[in-house]
Every structure is written in C-alpha cells, then in structure tokens.
Amino acid sequence: MTETAPWTTRKPTALLVLADGTVIEGHGVGATGKVTAEVCFNTALTGYEEILTDPSYLGQIVTFTFPHIGNIGTNDEDIEDLTPAARRGAVGVIFKADITEPSNYRSNRHLNDWLASRGIIGLSGVDTRALTAWIRENGAPNAVIAHDPNGVFDIEALKAEARAWGGLVGLDLAKEATSGQSSQWGETPWVWDEGYGELGPDDAKYHIVCVDYGVKRNILRLFAGLDCKVTVVPASTSAQDIMALSPDGVFLSNGPGDPAATGEYAVPVIRDIIKTETPTFGICLGHQMLGLALGATTEKMHQGHHGGNHPVKDHTTGKVEIVSMNHGFAVASGSLPADVEETHISLFDGTNCGLRLKGKPVFSVQHHPEASPGPQDSHYLFRRFLNMVRENKGEPALAER
C-alpha cells in the first residue's frame, strides 16, 4: 500500500491512519470523531450486526472482506452484547462499498443510523482486499479511525496517536465488557418465525453460573434451550460467591483483551472452581484463561482468526467442523501440561482450539459454537457440557448430536 491511498473519488470524510504512517482515505459512515484500536479483518459473509456487537471485538476495528455490508439493515433482535446501552463491541468498521438501503422484512433501522447510535466510527470506499493482504503480511496494526463530515483532519497528530497506542497486549478489557451486577437469563433460541422463547420457572432442570467476561447472548440462549437456568455474574466475582449460588456447572465466557491481563484476577478464581470438581466449560477468552489456570501460556497471534468459515478438527470424535472464530490471542499448544489434553485444532494453522483436564469435568474451546456457521456443527459442545452436569448428578447422558 502507498503512503496515501485515495481509493475514493469523493472528498475523504474519514481516515484510517496506521501506526506505520500509512493513511487510507474513505467516506465516513456511522459516528463522528476518532478512536484508537487494533485493525483486524473478518471473512464472514453474513452476520455483521452480531459481529459488531460481539464484546470480544472491544478495542478493535473490523474490516469486512465481504464487499456489501448493510443490505439487510439492522433490527433489535440480532445484537449479541448483554447490555446494549453500554455499546460493548467493535469501536470501528471498514467497508468496501457504500451502505445500501435495507431490504429485509426484519429491518427496522438503516445500518448507518445504527452505527451512529452505538458510537461506531466507520469508513467506506476502501480497497478492503488490499488492506486484508497488508494485515496478512504485516500483522494486525494499531491505528486511528477518524470521521469528520467536513473532511478536516490533523493527519500528523493522528499518526502520532496511532504510534503512541500500546495495543491490546497487557490490556484487561473484560472489566469494560462485563456486566455491572448479577442477573438471570431465561431467553431461549430463535424459532422461525416466532422469535425467541422463554424458559419457564418450572422448566429449569439445571443451574449454570456464567462468569461474564463479555458474554454473547446466543451462548446464554443455547443453555436456556437445554433447560438451564443461567445466573450471569461479573468477571470479578470470587469463587466463594460463585459456589454460594450452588451451580450445577460453571461457564467461563468469551470476552476481549489480553487473557494474561484479565487472568491476574480471573485465574485464581478458576483454579478454586476446578478444585470443587464442578463441571466447567470455557469459550474464547474463557478457554484461554482456563489454559492459564491449568498451567499453559497464551500468545498474541500475527493476525488472529476472525470469520465464519474456519475448519476445526475435534480429536475426540475425529470430525471436522466449520466454526466461527474471533480471537487475537491463543493458548500455546506446546505449553500444555501433561494432565491437559488438546482436543481441537485449527486446520488453517494448527493452533490450539480446545482442551480438557484429564479425569476432571473441565474443558474449553477457542471457537464460538453458538454462532452456527456450520450451521450447527458445534452445538454438540453444549450437550457435552450438559452431560458432565448430568453425570455429576447421577443422570444418564444425552446424545451429543
């Protein structure tokens, strides 16, 4: 890419300024202002509203490789963050094409207005193929994304801000993404064309405590769909307070930031939970911190995995599933202790995507089984966890599929 890449014939009203000084011009969309973050790319063809509201994207600017984003508008049902008023999700977005008028019966808002309402800054008119190729070659860069309808920018100041930002390493972003207080969840998965259901008070057979590092709604829905009452607790909740809720199982949620940073307070809690032999299941950040709690290490990835077309192999079944990924850190496979088994790997690059503690009801996965790109290739993991709960209660196992 050149120092300045004018990929639009209109006067630029938004800029992406990389830490190396590269300036990418575009047409501003969404909120105005500026924000510093890491730039990643996402290869998913659908689900832009779910992606942009995934709390795991906090501190990141999402480049969509699919050229047409916004065609189906937005609605109030496809968000993933638990507390949408707090706007926990991606802080910036980059599109190739301009946002079109929505054409979908479920849409109730134009994507541009929706972005602005959530404080997400964006630019369109960008050669996203070139930007994606740059990230693949050089790694996910730190950058400033800025939007001014008048096109007035202090480029040198923006370059200085991008250079000065320290990046995601060492950042505990779970403290920003987590819930402020405990809550109960009972909403069940979507049924076309009825919408979401609700777990009745007499239908709950099991009690799951979710430690919220930035949990996604559909994870909680899948638990509720398996007759599980879910209590969501803040990320800083102690093991003593968690166990005082008498959970049948503990879930360690996804979330943003560096697992080693969040792990400073989360890992001791996870270790104490494991000692109780309560069935424990982690996803994404929860997987990474479970790895840390079991003695492994984590590492920053070159470009991360972000998309809905990632092949992962489950060594416990020998099956390959197509999964949704969203992570910039990974558990280092070579650091797994002898009592920890690697259960899943990425078939793109061989990185760790799952583990279990031998002889204990404890396991986790890096990918997002609730996101349904397969479309339901990985839903069995929730039933696998529920079977651990059932076994712990002396009940027979359910079929995983």
Catalytic residues: 284, 368, 370
Residue 311 near residue 347 (C-beta atoms within 8 A): yes
Half-sphere exposure of 320 (CA within 13 A, CB side): 6
CA dist list (Å): 380 to 370, 374, 377: 10, 12, 7
- Quick check: 365 and 287 in contact, CB under 8 A? yes
For the chain, the residue count is 401
Side chain identity, residue 358: K
**3-state percent breakdown (helix, strand, coil) of the chain, nearest 5:** 25, 30, 40
Alpha-carbon distance of 255 to 261, in angstroms, equals 12
Query: In terms of Cα–Cα distance, which of 45, 40, 9 is closest to 27?
Result: 9
Cis amide linkage into residue 20, ω under 30° from 0: no
Separation between Cα atoms, residue 273 and residue 62, nearest integer Å: 35
State the amino acid at position 113 in one-letter form: D
What DSSP character marks residue 289? H
* 249-252/206-212 β-pairing: parallel
Q: How far, in Å, CA of 126 to CA of 5, rounded?
A: 9
Distance CA 42, CA 125 (A): 17
Bridging pattern class, strands 319-331 and 187-191: unpaired
Cβ partners under 8 Å of residue 8, min gap 6: 25, 26, 27, 125, 126
Euclidean distance between CA atoms 192 and 238, whole angstroms: 39
Euclidean distance between CA atoms 125 and 163, whole angstroms: 24
CA dist 98 and 46 (Å) reads 16
For residues 185 and 136, what is the distance between their CA atoms, to the nearest angstrom? Answer: 39
Alpha helix (H) residue ranges in 165-253:
174-177, 217-225, 239-243
- Residue 171, Cβ neighbours under 10 Å: how many? 19
